[in-house]
Structure 1
Amino acid sequence: MDSLFVSHIFSVISDTPFALVNKVFEYNAYEIFVKQEFLMMGGILKNNSWRPFIMKILVLGAGMMGRAIAYDLNKFSNYEEILIGDQDAQTRSSSKSFLQGTHVKVIPLNAEKTSEVKDQFKKVDVAVSALPYRFNYELAKLAISTRTHFIDLGGNNTIVENERRLFSKAEENEVTIIPDSGLAPGLVSIITRDIVDNLDTIDFVKLRVGGLPRYPKPPLNYQIVFSPYGLINEYIEDALILDQGKIIEKKSMTEIEELKFPKPFGTMETFLTSGGCSTLPNTYKDTIRYLDYKTIRYPGHCEKIKAILDMGFAEETKMMIRDQLVSPRDVFASLLVKNVPTTGEDVVLLKVLSQGTKQGKQRSREYVMIDYYDTEHDITAMMRTTAYPVAITAQMIEEGTIQQHGVFCPEEIIPPTLFFSALKKRGITLTIKDRSV
């Protein structure tokens, strides 16, 4: 068939309702050929079934982050079907209530059962993991086998590195895998990319992020805003620092510094933690002279938590206590959930400081974000700033903004300007100040 004829068909149906488009192909004598040609111009071929642009997505995990991802996708994306799966009946019920009035479908799904997950992956075009990071590597492999694009929240450097080793297979199967797509890593990774795009040389990038209670209560002045195990991991694993082309490991919860924010926050403390910069030291070891990541907390938090950790409460080796084997880390995580607030208004503070040169002149770029709990929709600031970036990434795949195949971290594949614009639509304001030094 003449390619000009196919182009004519494409121009006619590009603005035609999907149902009518399918009818056009149903009665076309050259159906198969036209579908193949249309695929090259933007159609979707999944498991031998073709449809123009209509895509389906699955969110694994119906907890706070998962339901916020689904909520955002329902509001802003054009996915034909949005599924969110979880094995826990109570979590599913809670998500159904939260997502009431949307077209999101909540389904039972046990992420431990490979065959169950594989069956669901085959039915969708994109899968998003809002599960603990320990699931992500196996889910990424499964997604490649079913030719399903896959996005996760990251959180563990070793697991992300293992995912990156799947690049060739993902590329071969025409699949896009994007780990580390939340807040830190995630949003801070894209900010770093924006710095690289806007400066010719870069002396330093200092990433500072913290999820905090808006109204702190002693003794820790903290609120559990995500998995307590993820929090413990950030505090005990070594932090990565990029310094003069070398990637250095340093102890977390060290190098405490002060950082100022507008009232009511004032002077906060920051200290090294793991995971936040993830792949950035490797990506930019030849571009940025110095890069580090520190967590923001109310003053005094670091000293108190470090004393607890120094007593061994983060150890995973089980101990015999009253004839029962008990993991100190499990005990600590349980006590955090029991005794530290898990609800209430929160806030996410972000400040990224950078300095370098542009056209031979010294410049500094500063990025500031203060995001608050959404009282109208009962969405925490941590949900907004972690889940919405994931949803934006999934939307970029659906819209065709992201088309590369392989395994990419956010700084390698997400266009910062478009991403920041998408955040603004969601009411997340990132203030950028560019100054001469």
Structure 2
Amino acid sequence: MTASTKRSINQVGVIGLGKVGELVAGLLTDSGFKVSGYDASPRPGLRFETAELDVSDAAALREALRGVDAVVSCLPYDRNIEVAEAAAAVGCHYFDLTEDVPTTQRVIELAAQTPGVAFVPQCGLAPGLIGIVGASLAKGFDEIRSIELKVGALPQNPTGLLGYAFNWSAEGVVNEYLNDCEVLRSGRRQMVPAMEEKERVVIGGIELEAALTSGGLGTMCQTYEGRVQRLDYKTLRYPGHFDQMHFLFDELGLRECRDEVGRILVKAKPPVNDDIVYLHAAVEGIKNGQPFRENHVRGYLPVEIPDGQGEVRSWRAISWTTASAAVAVVELVAEGALPQEGFVRQEDITLDDLHATQAGRRFADYGKIA
């Protein structure tokens, strides 16, 4: 759909113009939305309108959202609730990238209290795209024994014992490693420790390890409880990574020093441009009357995206995959392919619908493992 007048969403506010937020705003512009970008610091020279905004100023935040049909929060997880509450107060659709469980619980509460507005959190990679892939695979099965979901955002050329680079929020990564994880075991929801149940994974000849981390499933455990025997989300890393993190958090006793650990890790392993995002989803069960396992495996590399001003810019894999997933979901709500009010789960989105959007078609074209 190209005519913006047929959409329920025409003007979108993007709050937080960092590594991902700037690209979210740019891709929304490419998809025909009028975009207003907001950041704590001046961001002149971008191809959409920008303004400074302090999200802790509730009155200013609400005033900014009164001028848009929807808002996408690209802020750190601990600032999203403020934006969600402001969206509920003024009646605009809400989207975010959070993996934080308490944030999503508050968004669910707001969705139940706010008629006529869609609340769609967890629109990134995990939760987000990986859940869309897993749920879409599961739809083809008569009976489902297990859904295994894994994502890893890694340097292509790792060094050192950690084999890692902090291209994503250090605060978010530390939370994923330390917060307990919701899983399904024997069809029932359970909370289990993070960084456990390690397993070996090989993708395109590259050996990786995977371990449980928190937040990546979003609402899937609730959705599939009683229907699936085993469901979990694991983060992919290079071999040995989780042993080093156990040493850091447990032997050095730093579990209660999250902010300090985050600063140390970013300084030790700063971002890189040559990254890769691995996505691995597998469903086992009965399909067409026979036992079967179906895999969806991708390895996404940095891509070049026109900036709308005659230039082409290279974007890290973690940035473009996250931004494209989020913008695709905004497109689907705007075009009526998803509900226009209430809480929208990522697992209610089909991969085919996501691929049909302007932003989401990149996932259909890129990343296949030879």
Query: Is the deviation greater in 203-212 or in 351-360?
Result: 351-360
Matches within 5 A, 1:231-310: 231-263=173-205, 266-310=206-250
2:261 is aligned to 332
- Displacement of 1:336 in angstroms is 1.6
Task: Work out which of the residue numbers 331, 349, 353 in structure 2 matches 1:418.
Answer: 353
The gaps in structure 1 that reach 5 residues or longer are 1-13, 19-41, 45-53, 316-327, 433-437
8 Å Cα contact 1:209-1:349 kept in structure 2: yes
Q: Does residue 1:358 correspond to 2:287, yes or no?
A: yes
Question: Structure 2: how far apart are the matches of 1:43 and 1:153?
Answer: 22
Provide Cα deviations, 1:174-222, integer angstroms capped at 9, x if missing partner.
Answer: 0000011100000011112202321121000111110000111113110
Say which SS state the counterpart of residue 123 (structure 1) adopts.
coil
Question: Structure 1: how far apart are the matches of 2:120 and 2:2?
Answer: 30
8 Å Cα contact 1:367-1:430 kept in structure 2: no
Change (3 A) 1:15 1:295: closer
Question: Structure 1: how far apart are the matches of 2:124 and 2:92?
Answer: 20
Change (3 A) 1:43 1:220: closer
Question: Structure 1: how far apart are the matches of 2:10 and 2:327?
Answer: 14
Say which SS state the counterpart of residue 136 (structure 1) adopts.
helix
- Displacement of 1:427 in angstroms is 6.6
8 Å Cα contact 2:111-2:117 kept in structure 1: no
Among all aligned residue pairs of Structure 1 and Structure 2, give the percentage whose two residues are the same amino acid.
29
Question: Structure 1: how far apart are the matches of 2:125 and 2:119?
Answer: 17
Scaled by the length of structure 1, what TM-score is found?
A: 0.77
Query: Is the deviation greater in 382-391 or in 191-200?
Result: 191-200
Matches within 5 A, 1:151-162: 151-162=95-106
Give RMSD over aligned pairs.
2.3
Amino acid at match of 1:275: G
Instruction: Compare relative contact order (CA 8 Å, sep 6+) and give the higher one, 1 or 2.
Output: 2
Question: Structure 1: how far apart are the matches of 2:194 and 2:319?
Answer: 24
The gaps in structure 2 that reach 5 residues or longer are 305-311
Question: Structure 2: how far apart are the matches of 1:256 and 1:277?
Answer: 17
8 Å Cα contact 2:303-2:315 kept in structure 1: yes
- Displacement of 1:304 in angstroms is 0.7
Task: Work out which of the residue numbers 122, 127, 132 in structure 2 matches 1:180.
Answer: 122
1:63 is aligned to 18
Q: Does residue 1:224 correspond to 2:166, yes or no?
A: yes
Provide Cα deviations, 1:321-373, integer angstroms capped at 9, x if missing partner.
Answer: xxxxxxx3222211222221213210001111111112422222111110001
Please identify which structure carries the higher helix content: 1
Larger CA Rg, structure 1 vs 2: 1
Runs of 4+ displaced beyond 4 Å: 14-18
Question: Structure 1: how far apart are the matches of 2:141 and 2:241?
Answer: 35
Scaled by the length of structure 2, what TM-score is found?
A: 0.91
Task: Work out which of the residue numbers 122, 134, 149 in structure 1 matches 2:66.
Answer: 122
Amino acid at match of 1:133: Y
1:24 is aligned to none
